[in-house]
């Protein structure tokens, strides 16, 4: 983008010229946010006020050019993410420290893991892993797994979409395809899940049940 264009856009559209990068915490000017301005163009026709204004108000996951160029963050692909108009895609992925809900330890949810989690596995954006790697491994053990399944099912009203998917996966491992299909229908009723994700799971159930017959 040529510099004079940024300046003319600033005059026309933007009231502010100081933005705190949520990743490095530095105050940046619009000329240091060329990536954000690109997304601003791309999302112009959407319902957002403007990407730049949402970023200024702290509603987005984004980062300044310097953070992107120095690879402190990974650029997100909005079109690969499951955000379905209910929230905003992640424009960048950063390393983040989370607390494990089971053992209360701190664990890192790295930018590379996030890219995989949101763009390959297509977990809905703004959902986060609840457990550290070691607790997740324990959850996969059979005895713990059946306890976990009972917990999730008895508490189905309070589960989020990743937990309903967890139920489906456990039933698939048990080879109980009827139950897996039933929980797919439960998942389908949740507003936050897009059609693409449903088709993906449907196909997974279908392929696994074919293998078993």
| Residues at the interface with Zn ion (CB under 5 A) | 21, 23-24, 63-64, 67, 100, 102-103, 132, 135
CA–CA separation, 175 vs 67, rounded Å? 46
Nearer to Zn ion, 100 or 192 (CB): 100
CB nearer Zn ion, residue 6 or residue 100: 100
Q: How far is the CB of 134 from Zn ion (least distance, A)?
A: 6
CB of 80 to Zn ion, least distance (A): 23
Q: Is residue 169 within 8 Å of 177, Cβ to Cβ?
A: no
Query: What span, in angstroms and rounded, lies between the C-alpha atoms of 134 and 156?
Result: 25
CB of 166 to Zn ion, least distance (A): 16
Contact 58, 19 (CB under 8 A): no
Least distance from Zn ion to the Cβ atom of residue 195, Å: 34
Residue 37: name the closest of 69, 71, 5, 67 by CA.
Answer: 5
Biggest distance spanned by C-alpha atoms of the chain: 66
Least distance between Zn ion and beta carbon 137 (Å): 10
Which residue is associated with the tokens 């809900």? Answer: 101
Per the listing, tokens 């009723």 go with: 189
Token pair belonging to 96: 């983040």
- Nearer to Zn ion among residue 67 and residue 164 (C-beta): 67
Q: Is the Cβ of residue 63 or residue 180 nearer to Zn ion in the bound state?
A: 63
Closer by beta carbon to Zn ion, 11 or else 71: 71
């Amino acid at each position: 983008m040529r510099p004079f264009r940024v300046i003319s856009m600033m005059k026309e559209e933007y009231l502010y010229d100081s933005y705190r990068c949520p990743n490095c915490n530095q105050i940046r000017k619009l000329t240091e946010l060329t990536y954000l301005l690109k997304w601003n163009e791309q999302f112009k026709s959407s319902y957002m006020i403007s990407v730049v204004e949402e970023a200024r108000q702290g509603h987005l996951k984004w980062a300044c050019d310097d953070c992107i160029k120095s690879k402190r963050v990974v650029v997100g692909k909005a079109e690969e993410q499951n955000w379905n108009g209910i929230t905003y895609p992640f424009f960048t992925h950063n390393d983040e420290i989370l607390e494990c809900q089971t053992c209360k330890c701190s664990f890192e949810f790295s930018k590379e893991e996030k890219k995989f989690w949101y763009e390959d596995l297509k977990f809905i954006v703004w959902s986060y892993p609840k457990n550290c790697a070691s607790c997740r491994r324990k959850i996969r053990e059979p005895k713990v797994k059946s306890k976990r399944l009972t917990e999730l099912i008895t508490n189905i009203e309070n589960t989020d979409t990743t937990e309903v998917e967890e139920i489906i996966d456990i039933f698939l491992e048990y080879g109980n395809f009827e139950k897996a299909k039933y929980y797919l229908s439960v998942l389908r009723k949740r507003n936050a899940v897009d059609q693409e994700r449903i088709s993906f799971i449907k196909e997974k159930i279908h392929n696994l049940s074919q293998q078993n017959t």
